[in-house]
Amino acid sequence: MRLVLLGAPGVGKGVQGNLLKERYNIPKISTGDILREVINNKTPEGIEAEAFLRSGKLVPDSLINNIVNKRLKNDDCENGFILDGYPRTVPQAEFLNEILSKNSETLDKVINIEIDENIIIKRLSNRRICLSCGELYNMLTDPPPEDGVCRVCGEKVIQREDDKPETIKNRIEVYKKETQPLKEFYESSGLLVEVDGNNDIRNIHKNIISLME
């Protein structure tokens, strides 16, 4: 099962990816989480990526393609994977096709989640994340425990720098310009399934499953 989750920032790719990961027992690979980790660890890749994330721009294709190429070679991807936040540009999608085809593999489905733009802004500004394990919270619907530590790993839950209002608008613009063309890209290869993200988490999950099975 090789899946891609597509959609604007804040549509719920991370949460749906976690549910799919549990259901199919395959890793969810979030390129945003990987980038935040390398930035935290101040690796050369992290140092290169930091300013892009801070301003809500995409990191260069070559940087993220290298990261994903390495990650997909891990043993845990043998039975498949769920990509969350990658590809985000047409050249990234072409690169992904290339590395999969080297192993005679293809994607099974690309799940595109759509929600209204005003809901995106509300969700992103209320989102909180555990920087250590990536667990997601929402201050309105699913807040972190009162002591502000993650329910999964006990580390600190924070607001992402790029979930602040100044950067959210920029990220939505970047999505429209760079990532939206991927819908057509995957539609033309017959892989795209569309899911309405204006629904509660469990219902969206059920819809995804029924579209896939």
Active site residues per annotation: 13, 88, 127, 160, 171
Q: Which amino acid is at 94?
A: E
Which residue lies nearer to ligand AMP by CB, 32 or 197?
Answer: 32
28 binds ligand AMP (CB under 6 A): no
Which residue lies nearer to ligand AMP by CB, 106 or 170?
Answer: 170
Tell me how far, at minimum, the Cβ of 109 lies from ligand AMP, in Å: 18
> Contacting ligand AMP (CB under 6 A), which of 11, 35, 113, 168?
35
Which residues have a Cβ under 8 Å from the Cβ of 60 and sit 6 or more positions away?
Answer: 48, 52
Which residue lies nearer to ligand AMP by CB, 37 or 194?
Answer: 37
- Residue pair 148/157 in contact (Cβ under 8 Å)? The answer is yes
Q: What is the size of the binding site for ligand AMP (CB under 6 A)?
A: 18
Please list, residue by residue across 121-143, b when 16 or more beta carbons sit within 10 angstroms of its beta carbon and e when fewer do: bebbebbbbbbbebbbbbeeeee
Pick the stretch among 40-48, 50-58, 72-80, 191-199 that binds ligand AMP (CB under 6 A): 50-58
3-class SS of residue 49? helix
> Contacting ligand AMP (CB under 6 A), which of 15, 52, 100, 131?
52
Which residues have a Cβ under 8 Å from the Cβ of 69 and sit 6 or more positions away?
Answer: 95, 99
88 binds ligand AMP (CB under 6 A): yes
Q: Which amino acid is at 171?
A: R
123 binds ligand AMP (CB under 6 A): no
Pick the stretch among 28-36, 74-82, 139-147, 204-212 that binds ligand AMP (CB under 6 A): 28-36
- Nearest residue to 163 via CA among 138, 146, 144: 138
205 binds ligand AMP (CB under 6 A): no
Q: Which amino acid is at 159?
A: Q
71 binds ligand AMP (CB under 6 A): no
Rounded distance between C-alpha atoms, residue 121 and residue 207, angstroms = 24
Tell me how far, at minimum, the Cβ of 15 lies from ligand AMP, in Å: 12
Query: Strand 127-130 vs strand 157-158: parallel, antiparallel, or unpaired?
Result: antiparallel
Structure tokens at 19: 């549910």
Query: Residues in the site for ligand AMP, rule: CB under 6 A?
Result: 9, 31-32, 35, 52-53, 56-59, 64, 85-88, 92, 162, 171
